[in-house]
Amino acid sequence: MKPSLLLSLVLSVLVVSFISALTIGAADLTFNQVLLSLFGNVDEAGTVAHSIIWQLRMPRSILAFVAGCGLAMAGLILQTITRNPLADPYLFGISSGASFGVVIVMTLTGVGFGFYLSFAAFLGSLLAISLLLLIAGFNRHQQVESMLLAGVALSFLFSSFTSLMLYWSDPQAVSAILFWTLGSFSRAQWDLLWFPCLVVISCLGLMLAKQRQLNAVLLGDEGAVTLGVNVNRLRITMLLLSSILTASIVALCGGIGFVGLMIPHIVRFFIGQGGRLSLIITALVGGVFMLWVDIASRVILDNQELPIGIITAAVGSLFFLTLLYVRKRKSVI
């Protein structure tokens, strides 16, 4: 498929998805009400509808969209720099670091929500990623391998710390933490949205700027070096970028697995990874996917919200099994 055609397709799906995300939910709103409160006047839409849309669903949907974009981009970055189709922000201990930060704050202070929790999650991810960078930075020759192995090891290390803290804490904290690690967009607020938005937009800019170099890395470190690319520095920069992306999202939304892994593969199924448009399309598809996951989380159970992580993990694993099946058939033919 032509990338430009796919882009316009994805953009139109995005518009539809976003309006659906504003319309569908616990409170019954009509499509008309949504349009009126978006573009018309408040009185015709009804003040309740207006505040549901502007105070609840709008920030929530923006957060879902931005989180999807960011995680898909982080996955694409990591898969590219490690040349490993299984790479994902969660493979590198980024989210277990975040959970660790959250658990410490929750068990020590009893605070269960708000800015401090996000900040703790952010610090936790940064801690995990600095350890990873330290390890990968020392071993410059087999950087990719050591990075992957160290990431998995760190991920387990932080999980064990988290479990230990949970073991010592009271049941209420345990369920709060469990809910947090499964991910949710219910914490979306206008005044916290700017940070992930800023991070996602600037990372997209940087990725577009470095797109040629990223492509070069796909063809091997040695080949990239002969094209003048400083591969080690590029890899560290991109790893740092994807961790800031993930950390800023995990801090607000909790752990949402599989999106970073899945979306780049889906996009690759339709168009090659080479062009700049494919980066943008990957980010947009991630956002659209997350909008629908959020919609599903609101409507699957009556009067209750299903954690995001459950849905993405279920869809993600099914997706993987399908991918395996398709690949197997491809290789047979």
Contact positions toward another protein, by CB under 8 A?
79-80, 83-85, 208-210, 212-213, 215-216, 218-220, 222-223, 225-230, 268, 272-275
Nearest approach in angstroms of CB 244 to another protein is: 19
Q: Helix 3-23 and helix 31-39: axis angle, to 10°?
A: 100
Between CA 176 and CA 171 the distance in angstroms is 9
Q: What are phi and psi of 317, to 5 degrees?
A: -70, -40
Nearest approach in angstroms of CB 202 to another protein is: 14
Nearest approach in angstroms of CB 149 to another protein is: 18
- Closer residue to another protein, CB minimum distance, 85 or 110: 85
Using alpha carbons, list the distances in angstroms from residue 84 to 79, 140, 190, 218.
Answer: 5, 18, 36, 10
For the four alpha carbons of 161, 164, 169 and 171, in that order, the dihedral sign comes to positive
- Closer residue to another protein, CB minimum distance, 159 or 273: 273
Nearest approach in angstroms of CB 10 to another protein is: 19
Whether residue 82 contacts residue 148, with contact meaning beta carbons closer than 8 Å, is answered with: yes
Nearest approach in angstroms of CB 283 to another protein is: 17
- Closer residue to another protein, CB minimum distance, 20 or 215: 215
Using alpha carbons, list the distances in angstroms from residue 27 to 126, 131, 172.
Answer: 38, 45, 29
- Closer residue to another protein, CB minimum distance, 216 or 244: 216
Residues near 124 by beta carbon (within 8 Å), at least 6 away in sequence:
97, 98, 99, 100, 101, 102, 104, 158
Between CA 255 and CA 313 the distance in angstroms is 11
Q: Which tokens sit at 263?
A: 């979306």
- Closer residue to another protein, CB minimum distance, 212 or 328: 212
- Closer residue to another protein, CB minimum distance, 35 or 225: 225
Please identify which residue in the block is written with the tokens 């616990």.
26
Length of the chain: 333
Nearest approach in angstroms of CB 79 to another protein is: 7
Nearest approach in angstroms of CB 171 to another protein is: 46
How far the first Cα of the chain sits from its last, in Å, is 22
- Closer residue to another protein, CB minimum distance, 16 or 209: 209
